[in-house]
Amino acid sequence: MSGEESKQLFSKEVLTLRNCLEFKLTKNGPQKIIFDEIQEHCEIKKIDDFNVIIKGGKCLFKNHELAKFTLTVAGSSNCNDRDFLKENKMNPSAVDSEIVYYYTGSNDGETGYLNLLGKTRLQINIQAGSELIPLTDDMGTSTPTLPESWVFPTLNIGEITFKKRKERTSINIPFLIENLCKKSCKDGVCTSPCDYALPLGAQVSLYSTNKRNKYEIVDEWYQGAKIPANWQGSLASFQSNHRINNESLEIAEGSRFKLEISFGDPKYNFNMLTRGLRSILGSFSRSMPSMDNGMIHNIPMITMPGLGGRNSIPTYQDLPNIGNGQLLSENFSRDQFHDMRELIQYDLFVPYYNKVCNKERTKCVSANIEKAVSYTIEFEVKKRSPK
């Protein structure tokens, strides 16, 4: 994807967020909401002294020190109109976004200090029509219809590295992903399976050579992530930096290993990945009792009927409260916790795919297969030269 194509894709995602979502801000307390009615990056519609509807990329409000706000989100009917999508050059697609809340020391939000209050991730899914791409079965208004085919992305394996720390040995297997494919168009509206997030779960088996120079199994695990729509680049996948469950393993220069990386039933493999994350999450949250303080929460998924499905337009649903008398900041562990929660929640929306196809969708096999695609890599350990 060229720089210009990336810029166009980003512009379309911004258009989708601004046209398909609207937010309601409610002030809790005796003081009314105070704001400048004309803002360059925000449209504000006043409902009463304590409630406003907002749309835009950056909205500014004046705040009392002990004020508390509630933000809710709903879908807009614009994005169910084919003519509107066509006129604004928008595609039925999935878009991931993040809402960030700040205290700011200026009226324009550009100068002065910025103190982070919190973040909220948000996913919007505009359903395609079956005349554009084949869709999963319609299971009712509570379940989105998604592309029926799991289109295998272009995948390359980056540099494989071992790291030993005391008695722990870990292996890092980076995935380089391109989730881009040809679009289908009708009446000026286009989409593709790659316009939607893709669950990726790989079964990884690591082998080492024994004294008879034969390969024997060392460890097995699941590695993967949710691939964003139209993604190209390195994928920050869970278990990509895996701690090997074999204390007797010796890593030395000249040691030979084999990796088998297989992709089978997408639903099953992704479920196996999140099953492991659930156990990690349990111990992680017990060791960090302050995690559930408003920063970590369920991630709303807004599903718009778009051009297909029977879903109604989503009404307002709660996002976390803003401004509870303390400033919240995220650290690395908090982000990890948040990412794991997001993956586990996303697992609920992963459909039962009918087929696994190549990117051109010219060759497909049943999704109910143990190994639809597999990689075998044999390699010898070499000591990395100091930089």
pTM as predicted: 0.80
Q: What are the boundaries of each domain within the chain? A: 1-126+296-329, 140-294+330-387
Q: What is the pairing mode between strands 114-126 and 301-304?
A: parallel
Which tens digit of pLDDT belongs to each residue from 335-373? 566 676 777 777 777 888 989 998 888 899 998 888 888
Report d(CA 202, CA 359) in Å as an integer.
Answer: 18
- Cα 312 vs. chain centroid, distance in angstroms? 23
Give a three-class secondary structure readout of the chain: CCHHHHHHHHHHHHHHHHHHEEEEEEEECCCCCECCCCECCEEEEEEECCEEEEEECCCCCECCCCCEEEEEEEECHHHHCHHHHHHCCCCCCEEEEEEEEEEECCCCCCCCCEEEEEEEEEEEEECCCCCCCCECCCCCCCCCCCECEEECCEEEECCCEEEEECCEEEEECCEEEECCCCCEEECCEEECHHHCCEEEEEEEEEEEECCCCCEEEEEEEEEEEEECCCCEEEECCECCEEECCCCCCCCCCCCEEEEEEEECCHHHHHHHHHHHHHHHHHHHHHHCHHHHCCCCCCCCEEEECCCCCCCCCCCCEEEEEECCCCCCCCCHHHHHHHHHHHHHHHHCCCCCCCEEECCCCCCEEECCCCCCEEEEEEEECCCCCCC
Q: Please, what sign has the CA dihedral across residues 354, 359, 363, 365?
A: negative
Residues 6 or more apart in contact with residue 117 via CB below 8 angstroms: 101, 102, 103, 322, 323, 327, 328
Q: Which two tokens stand for residue 169?
A: 């040995």
The whole-number pLDDT of residue 203 equals: 94
The whole-number pLDDT of residue 256 equals: 93
Q: Which two tokens stand for residue 24?
A: 């309601």
Residue labelled with tokens 């002294």: 49
Positions of the chain with pLDDT lower than 70, given as ranges: 1, 64-67, 106-109, 111-112, 138-143, 237, 239, 280-338, 340, 386-387
Residue labelled with tokens 């982070």: 116
- Of how many residues is the chain composed? 387
Report d(CA 137, CA 384) in Å as an integer.
Answer: 51
CA-to-CA dists, residue 215 to 160, 175, 206, 257, 260, angstroms? 18, 24, 9, 8, 12
Q: Which two tokens stand for residue 128?
A: 């395609």
Q: Which amino acid is at 46?
A: K
Q: Which two tokens stand for residue 116?
A: 């982070």
In contact, 206 and 218? CB cutoff 8 Å = yes
